[in-house]
Structure 1
Amino acid sequence: MSIIVWIVIGGLAGWVGNMIMKSDGGLVKNIVTGIIGALIGGFVMSFFGATGFTGFNIWSFVVALIGSIILIAIINLFTGRRTA
């Protein structure tokens, strides 16, 4: 069950992150971006003393979204893409 939660939350967070950062991507890219973003977001939140990805709830979505935005910004930095 937890892998399904990671895929659903990751897909949604990756999709919203791509919309915020005005990036393009398909379903698989959104899911991968969201899952890696959840890991990054969990690390960032633990650095600040907050809990990371905890399951199927709004907080986990926010953590994954923050991580997705950070990941997309890092990718754009290395690929030279700029957001409009």
Structure 2
Amino acid sequence: MGLIWGLILGAIAGLIASKLMNENSGLIKNILLGVGGGFVGGLVFKLIGFAATGLIGSLIVSIVGACICIWAGRKLFK
């Protein structure tokens, strides 16, 4: 059940991040952005000394990480 919730949370985080960054993407890309963003966001937040707790905290970390992934992708593949 945790995997399903992770994919749903990833899809929501990827959708919000893609809207914030004006990125056109489909469901699969949103899920990958959200899950990858959760990983990247978790690393970044740990480096600055913050930790996410609960569903809302995880969602915020995933959105921030997904925005970082979109930004980095734009810079790398410009």
Q: TM-score of the superposition, structure 1-length normalised?
A: 0.87
Provide the residue aligned with 1:24 in structure 2: 24
Aligned-residue Cα RMSD (Å) equals: 1.2
Greater helix share, 1 or 2? Answer: 2
Deviation at residue 49 of structure 1 after TM alignment: 1.5
Distance 1:45 1:4 in 2: 24
Report SS of the residue matched to 2:25: coil
Structure 1 segment 48-63 matched on structure 2, within 5 A: 48-52=48-52, 54=53, 57-63=55-61
Unaligned ranges ≥5, structure 2: none
C-alpha distance after superposition, 1:51-73 (max 9, x if no partner): 24x55x11000000000000000
Moved over 6 A (4+): none
Report SS of the residue matched to 1:72: helix
Deviation at residue 7 of structure 1 after TM alignment: 0.4
Unaligned ranges ≥5, structure 1: none
Distance 2:48 2:8 in 1: 25
C-alpha distance after superposition, 1:26-71 (max 9, x if no partner): 000000010000000000111111224x55x110000000000000
Q: Percent identity?
A: 32
Q: TM-score of the superposition, structure 2-length normalised?
A: 0.93
Provide the residue aligned with 1:75 in structure 2: 73
